[in-house]
Chain A
Amino acid sequence: MQQFIEQLAQENEFKPTRLLKILRAVQAKYLHIPKEAIEQLASLLSIPRTQIQNVVEFYSFFHSQPRGKYDILISSSITDLMVGQEELINYFSEKLGVEIGEVRADGVVSLNNTSCTGMCDQSLAGLVNGYAITKLTKSRIDEIVENVNKQLPLENWSRDLFDVQDNIIKPDLLLNQKPTHGEAINSTFERGLKETLDEVEKSGLRGRGGAGYTTAWKWKFCSEDEGICDVSAHQQKQRYIVCNADEGEPGTFKDRVLLNSYADSVFEGMTVAAAIVGATQGFIYLRGEYLHLYEKLEGILKARRDANLLGKNILQHGFDFDIEICLGAGAYICGEESALIESLEGKAGIPRNRPPYPVTSGYLGKPTSVNNVETFLAAANIAVHGGEWFANLGTAKSKGTKILSISGDCAKAGIYEYAFGTTIQTILNDCGATDVLGVQVGGPSGTFIANDEFERKIAFEDLATGGSFIVFNNSRNILDIVHNFSHFFAHESCGFCTPCRVGTSLLKKQVDKIVEGHGSAGDIVALEELCQIIKNYSHCGLGQTAANPVLTTLERYPELYQSMLKKISYEPGFDLDKSLETARRMAHRDDAHAHLAQVED
Chain B
Amino acid sequence: MSKTFVIDGKVIPFEEGQTIIQAATAAGVYIPHLCHNPKFTPHGSCKLCTVKVNGRNCSACTFPAAEGQTVTNITQELNDDREKITQMLFVEGNHFCPSCEKTGNCNLQAVAYHLGMTDNHFPHFFENREVDASHPDVMIDHNRCIFCTLCVRASQQEDGKNVFAISGRGLEKRLVVNSESGLLKDSDLDVNDCAAHICPTGAILIKRTGYKVPIGQRIFDHAHIDTVALAAEGASHDE
Which A residues form the contact surface with B (CB < 8 A)? 39, 48-51, 53-54, 57-59, 331, 348, 353, 355, 490-499, 501-506, 509, 529-530, 532-533, 536-539, 572-574
Contacts and interface: CB of A to CB of B under 8 A. Distances in A.
B39 interface: no
B59 A533 contact: no
Contacts of B146: 498
Contact of A355 (B64, B162, B176): B64
Contact of A331 (B47, B88, B169, B176): B169
Nearest to B123: A573
Nearest to B89: A498
Contacts of B46: 497-498
Interface in B83-98: 84-85, 88-89, 91-92
B165 A539 contact: no
A530 B50 CA distance: 16
Contacts of A494: 169-170
Interface of B: 42, 44-48, 50, 57, 59, 62, 64, 81, 84-85, 88-89, 91-92, 122-125, 146-147, 162, 164-173, 176-178, 180
12 contacts: A50-B176, A57-B172, A490-B170, A493-B169, A496-B45, A497-B46, A497-B47, A498-B89, A501-B92, A505-B125, A537-B50, A537-B81
Nearest to A54: B167
Contacts of B88: 498-499, 502-503, 506, 533
Contacts of B177: 50
A430 B18 CA distance: 55
A48 B165 contact: yes
Contacts of B173: 495, 501
Given A502-B91, A506-B122, A495 B47 contact: no
A539 B44 contact: yes
A505 B124 CA distance: 11
Given A53-B165, A503-B88, 8 more contacts: A50-B177, A353-B62, A495-B171, A501-B92, A501-B171, A502-B92, A537-B47, A573-B122
A49 B57 CA distance: 36
Ranked nearest first, the 4 interchain pairs of A and B with the lowest CB-CB distance are A573-B123, A50-B165, A502-B88, A495-B173
B81 A536 contact: yes
Nearest to A50: B165
Contact of A48 (B89, B170, B178): B178
A contacts with B: majority SS: helix
A53 B124 CA distance: 28
B47 A501 contact: no
A599 to B, nearest CB: 20
A106 B203 CA distance: 41
A498 B84 CA distance: 10
Contacts of A355: 64
A36 B32 CA distance: 43
A503 B176 CA distance: 23
Contacts of A504: 170
A325 to B, nearest CB: 24
Contact of B45 (A492, A498, A505): A498
Nearest to B168: A57
Contacts of B169: 57-59, 331, 348, 493-495
Contacts of B57: 536-537
Counting chain A CB atoms within 10 Å of each CB, which of B57, B84, B165, B177 scores highest? B84
A30 B138 CA distance: 36
A57 B167 CA distance: 7
Contacts of A50: 162, 164-165, 167, 176-178
A400 to B, nearest CB: 29
A499 B167 contact: no
Contacts of B147: 495, 501
A133 to B, nearest CB: 25
Contact of B123 (A331, A509, A537): A509
A509 to B, nearest CB: 6
Contacts of A530: 122
Nearest to B57: A536
B180 A49 contact: yes
A499 B162 CA distance: 27
Nearest to B156: A48
A539 B170 contact: no
Given A533-B81, A536-B57, A495 B168 contact: yes
A498 B85 contact: yes
A53 B176 contact: yes
B8 to A, nearest CB: 19
Nearest to B171: A505
A366 to B, nearest CB: 19
B166 to A, nearest CB: 7
Nearest to A57: B168
A17 to B, nearest CB: 18
Given A502-B88, A509-B123, A537-B50, A39 B167 contact: no
Contact of B85 (A57, A495, A509, A537): A537
Contacts of B165: 48, 50-51, 53-54
A168 to B, nearest CB: 35
Indicate the member of B170, B172, B178 with the most A CB atoms within 10 Å.
Answer: B170
A51 B165 CA distance: 8
Contacts of B123: 506, 509, 572-574
A53 B171 contact: no
B230 to A, nearest CB: 23
A413 to B, nearest CB: 31
A50 to B, nearest CB: 3
B149 to A, nearest CB: 10
A533 B170 contact: no
Contact of A492 (B125, B170, B180): B170
Nearest to B176: A50
Of A58, A497, A499, most B-chain CB atoms within 10 Å: A497
